[in-house]
Structures are given as C-alpha cells and as structure tokens.
Amino acid sequence: MLAAAMPLLVASWVSAQELADKIYTGGAILTMEDAQPRAEALATRQGRILAVGSRAEVMRHAGAGTVMVDLGGRALLPGFVDSHGHVVGGGLQASSANLLAPPDGQVKDMASLQRVLRAWHVEQAEMVKRLGAIIGFGYDPAQMAERRHPTAADLDAVSADVPVYLIHQSGHFGAANTAALKKLGLNARSPDPAGGIIRRLADGRPDGVMEETAHFHALVKLLGGLGPEGFAEFARAGARLWTRYGYTTAQEGRAMPDTVGTLRQVAAKGGFDIDIVAFPDVLVDRNFITANISQHYVNRVRVGGAKLTIDGSPQGFTAWRDRPYYKPVGNYPPGYAGYPAATEAQVNDAIRWAFKNGVQILTHANGERASDVLLSAIRAARLEHGPGRRPVLIHGQFLREDQVDALKELGVFPSLFPMHTFYWGDWHREHTVGPILADDISPTGWVLQRDMMFGTHHDAPVAFPDSMRVLYSTVTRRSRSGDILGPKHRVKVETALKAMTLWPAWQHFEEASKGSLAPGKLADLVLLSADPTAMDPEKLDTLKVMQTIKEDRVVYSAEALRAETSDVPLTSEAGAAFSRALQVMASYAEMSGLPDTELRRGVALLRAAQPQHHGACVSNFLLMAMQPRSAALGQRP
C-alpha cells in the first residue's frame, strides 16, 4: 500500500561471494518489506544486513568463520524505533519503587501501594540509607480503588521514621509522610508557594499531598543535589530500559540544551548501546537547535529537530479541547475545556521558524483546539516557506476526522498513542470525552483510510516503554475493563508492526538504514518469543522480547538477565542506577543551596514553560535539578 514511500535497497549491495559474520535461521523472519515480507534466513556482516531470503540463498554467504544463530522457532524483526518517548525521564521510572497499576505494576489500592513500598524499603535498604528517603514513582488515583492521593497518614504506615516521598504518574503531584514533611520543613505555618498548593488538614497542617510548584520544591530539596553525574546515571538507566523492550533507537522527546550535553558526555564514554535522538524545546534556545541539528550520530547521540508543546494531558483534563470535558473529576467550572500551554502567537512563531530554517518540528497536541491551532500554523508556514521537513504531530488523542484530512493535506506525520486505549480508555469513556467520542481516540483507522503512514508510541515515563503493550493496544484497542474502543480503528498486526519500525524510521529520516530487514541496512534486530503474525491477537501482550540486537551485537538478553538477577523485578535491579546517582549528590548542591525565593522563582518559571501532565514533566524536573541556576531559570527566544 505504501511501498512507493519506502524505497527498497536491492540485494546487489553485496556480491554473492562476501562471507557473513552471522546467519540467523530457524524461525520466522519478518522483514517489513512489502516485496518480501517474510524470509527464511538473514546474514550480517560488519554490523549491517548482508542478505535476506531463502535459506539456500543466504547460506551461500556462509564461511568457516560464520556464526550460525538458531532462532529456535522464535521471530526476528527489525529493532523498534521509538516514535515518541522521554528516555531520560524513563531513567527515574526504572530506578524507583514501581507504583504503577497493573499490568506494569501491582498498585490497585492503598494497601497494595503500601505493600510495594515496604518491599522496596527492604530490597533497597542500602540505597534508602544513602538517600535518607524511600522514593516511589507512578501512582495514579484514577487507577486506585480509593480514587485519591496517598496522604501522610497512609505513608506513615509504610515508615514512621524514614521519609517517604511519592511522585504521581504525571510528575505534577507528590505525596509525603510525616517524616518527609519534617525533613522538608513543612508545617501549618508554611505558605503555599506561587503556582502550587500544599493540601492541608482542618487544623492547617499539611496532609502530605503537594501540587505543582509545592511538589517541585519538595523534590528539589530531596533530589536537588543530583548533579550532572547523577543525571547521567538516569540517562543510562533509561536507555537500558528501552533495550529491554526491543528498541534500538530511542527518543528524548523534549530536551533542554543541558540534556543534550549530558547525553553527549555519557555517549563519549560509551554509555549507550542504542541510538538516541533528542528534540530540544523550541521555546527555550533556537540557536542551540540550529547549531546542533544533524542526521549523523556521534557516539549514538544526535539532535534531530525541535519540540513544541501546545497543551497538556487528556486524562488529566488539561488537553485543550474545542468543547467541554464530559464529566471531569475535580473542581472544574461549568464548560471547562482545558487550556493551552503555549499561546497561539508562540505556536505560529515556532512553526514559522521551523519551516523557514528547514528544522523538523515535533508538536505535542492532544485536544481538538490544540490541533486546530497547530494545523492553522502549518498551513500558514507552508504558504510562506514550502512543505517543511516532515512535521510530526505527537499524540493527537482527540483528533476530529476533518483534522485527519488536514494532516494528509499538509503532509503531517501522526505519531499516535493507541496504548491510551488500554491504560485510560475506560477513563476517557466515563470522564474525558464520553462514550461516543472515546471510540475515536488515537484514530488509526481514519489515518489508514487515507493511505497515510503513522507511528505508535508509549510516551514513557507515563507508562513503561512496553513495545508489546503498544502492539497489543494498536491491534485490539481493548481497555483495562475489556471494552473495545472504536473497533473501526483496529489494525492488522503487520500494519501495527510497521508503525513501530519502518514508519517511525521514516519519521526520523532514517528509513534508508533502519526500520526493515533489507541488504545494506543496519543489523538492528529484535528477537520475540513467538511470531506475532501467527497467534491470537488477544495474546500479543504475552509476547516477550528475548534479545535486542544493535548492529549485530546483543545489547539485551532476557536469558542473561534472568541468570544475573534470579528473576528480581525490573525496578529492583534498575535501582542500582538510582543508587549510583545518589552517591554523587553530596558533591553537587548548588540547587539545594539556593534561597527559597530564588528557588521558587526558578521552579515557577520552569512550570510556566512546560505542559501539564505528560511524560516530559519528569525529564524536565530532573533537568532543573541538575542544571546551573541560569539554565534552570529558563530562557525564551
């Protein structure tokens, strides 16, 4: 269908006499190439694919030194290309107590949250001692039976002596126990900081829950000594987490200049096994973007373009809609429809700048009104500067069908979030848009009807970068309750796999070297436990990533991990990275030493510059914690 947009690399890239380093055979090989979607064998040489085809054809490249790899009946695919995520923020997710709801965690209610935290305290006793606190990430009242935030009283049941601090899944709320409140110096006389709220008991004492800048302030005090070296540990942990889910190319989907600097420092020391593409915030430093943008990786890191954020989170009721929310949970005025994170003037200026300067721009827009503003800006920029450089819409959760027509007309690549149908599909049906419009969130069916490519993503750390959950949700659109949201938007397994490989490679201008299994392309591969095209689609989420292979080198092996960890949960093993980060905190205390008024000003300015409730929030907090004061205060063009 879309073969014309995907130039094939012919097998003549090599001569038949060249000998392979490795030959993979003995399982399903899914190429993502329409001309040859399946193969019996694949040969590699010097990190690239040498040949793909029948076993007889490929075996002509076998020599005395060729390593034969038996797939054991499993499936070999192109390595997954991250259409949108926040790999640095994922490092925090990978390095703290996992408070996510099933299937990514065990938290269903207050009792299970307390149980996970107690276990974390025991498993990571040395790290807790070093930090002086128990840190948890990912709780979500929308998925807890009590439908509320944990309070100090709830967390005192975890520990009355050791400070406990939890980070909401959105990154915009925190919850502290009494010991943490004492460590933070918060009491009935503590004022609410500008742009934040300290929730209180009837007598004025903090109840443990903090919103927005009050939460950021608390985190800065607890983790503000993170520093460049500690931040680098989070970056490494995030990249390792991506490899466990089969990604050979990761994205840092909203970076700051110092983020890129840290990524490059880690990369220069050989710290990354996979490629990372960073997209700095277009509202922070455009000169940095134009000076650093490149199609070439240096030690596995490059700057790919710019990022713009127009609105916030649909499940958090901060996406900017063209109509009121259905039944929002919270204290909202009648007719509430969310709000923008950037003005229309800022959007128009940023898009115009990107088109004028030939910079690819990725734009976060969830609500209908946000997408209207984006499409209007792109239409105006095209008239003035031409078609642009593959502009990308990130999320587009509440797209109308006429807006999908406009995406095609304007040449905008949609990077969609069908995994939302699982995690928050029921929430959308019951609270955000209602039962009718919920069927059309992440409208992959409308996109395919128009013969368009699209990408699918996870937006980690909002959820784990679970590639098989992305695949399952794109194919089935089944919610947590088992409901199917929008059957017309379900797609075939083969199509869903292209949206994780070939099409996001095109999104990143890397289709000539990644995204499919063809001679000449990089040997970026993922080995799955079974063939996803030959199983019940309802069981796709049971598939496991067995190996991730970057340029013919195994960078993750499930078997090796099990041998090393004896099946210790993912977040417990990854806690070592957090521990290493904490070891360097004491040597980097500039942020924690700031006067309160100046610190609040920095946090408030950062808060004003960023969107509401989505994956970049955690990354941006970490940035603020490790950056020098001038950078943390932010700069605008």
Q: Could you read off the pLDDT of 37-67 as tens digits, one per residue?
A: 999 999 999 999 999 999 999 999 999 999 9
Cα 475 to chain centroid distance, Å, stands at: 20
| Cis upstream peptide for 103 (omega within 30°) | yes
Give domain status of residue 521, yes or no.
Answer: no
| Residue of 383, 360, 396 lying closest to 282 (CA atoms) | 360
Q: How buried is 349 (Cβ within 10 angstroms: 0-12 exposed, 13-18 middle, 19+ buried)?
A: middle
| Measured distance CA(541)–CA(391) in Å, rounded | 31
* pLDDT score for 224: 59
3-state SS assignment for residue 200: strand
3-state SS assignment for residue 581: helix
Give domain status of residue 589, yes or no.
Answer: yes
Residues 334 and 461 in one domain: yes
CB-based contacts of 100, cutoff 8 Å, min separation 6: 107, 138, 139, 140, 169, 463, 464
3-state SS assignment for residue 325: coil
402: number of CA atoms within 13 Å, CB side? 4
| Measured distance CA(149)–CA(208) in Å, rounded | 9
Any idea what the CATH number is for the domain that residue 64 is in?
A: 2.30.40.10
Q: Could you read off the pLDDT of 327-342 as tens digits, one per residue?
A: 998 778 999 999 888 9
| Measured distance CA(578)–CA(130) in Å, rounded | 11
Other CB atoms within 10 A of residue 188 CB: 11
Give domain status of residue 531, yes or no.
Answer: no
Residue 236 contacts residue 271 (beta carbons within 8 Å): yes
Last residue within a domain, chosen from 472, 499, 515: 515
Domain residue limits at 52: 3-73
| Measured distance CA(25)–CA(19) in Å, rounded | 16
Give domain status of residue 484, yes or no.
Answer: yes
* pLDDT score for 587: 31
CB-based contacts of 298, cutoff 8 Å, min separation 6: 264, 267
**Alpha helices (H) in 429-501, listed in sequence order:** 434-437, 444-449, 467-476, 493-498
| Measured distance CA(312)–CA(613) in Å, rounded | 6
Residues 265 and 359 in one domain: yes
Phi, psi of 228, rounded to the nearest 5 degrees: -60, -40
Q: What type of residue sits at position 494?
A: E
Residues 103 and 56 in one domain: no
3-state SS assignment for residue 513: coil
Residues 52 and 131 in one domain: no
| Measured distance CA(114)–CA(109) in Å, rounded | 9
CA distances for 83 relative to 38, 114, 532, angstroms:
24, 35, 20
DSSP-derived letter for residue 281 is: B
* pLDDT score for 233: 84
Weakly modelled stretches of the chain, pLDDT under 50: 1-14, 16, 564-614, 624-637
Give domain status of residue 420, yes or no.
Answer: yes
| Cis upstream peptide for 461 (omega within 30°) | yes
Residues 100 and 28 in one domain: no
Any idea what the CATH number is for the domain that residue 603 is in?
A: 3.10.310.70
Residues 270 and 415 in one domain: yes
Predicted TM-score of the model (pTM): 0.83
Give domain status of residue 478, yes or no.
Answer: yes
Residue 443 contacts residue 419 (beta carbons within 8 Å): no
| Total of domains in the chain | 3
Last residue within a domain, chosen from 73, 103, 133: 73
| Residue of 395, 416, 557 lying closest to 489 (CA atoms) | 416
Residues 464 and 391 in one domain: yes
Last residue within a domain, chosen from 469, 486, 515: 515
Residues 277 and 189 in one domain: no
Q: Which token pair is 42? A: 């694949």
Give domain status of residue 233, yes or no.
Answer: no
| Residue of 174, 170, 125, 291 lying closest to 620 (CA atoms) | 170
Give domain status of residue 533, yes or no.
Answer: no
| Measured distance CA(323)–CA(334) in Å, rounded | 11
Residues 445 and 487 in one domain: yes
CB-based contacts of 370, cutoff 8 Å, min separation 6: 310, 311, 319, 320, 340
CA distances for 422 relative to 270, 314, 419, 427, 472, angstroms:
37, 14, 6, 10, 9
* pLDDT score for 264: 97
Any idea what the CATH number is for the domain that residue 490 is in?
A: 3.20.20.140
Residues 351 and 457 in one domain: yes
Residues 400 and 317 in one domain: yes
Residues 222 and 275 in one domain: no
- For tokens 């999908």, the residue is 404
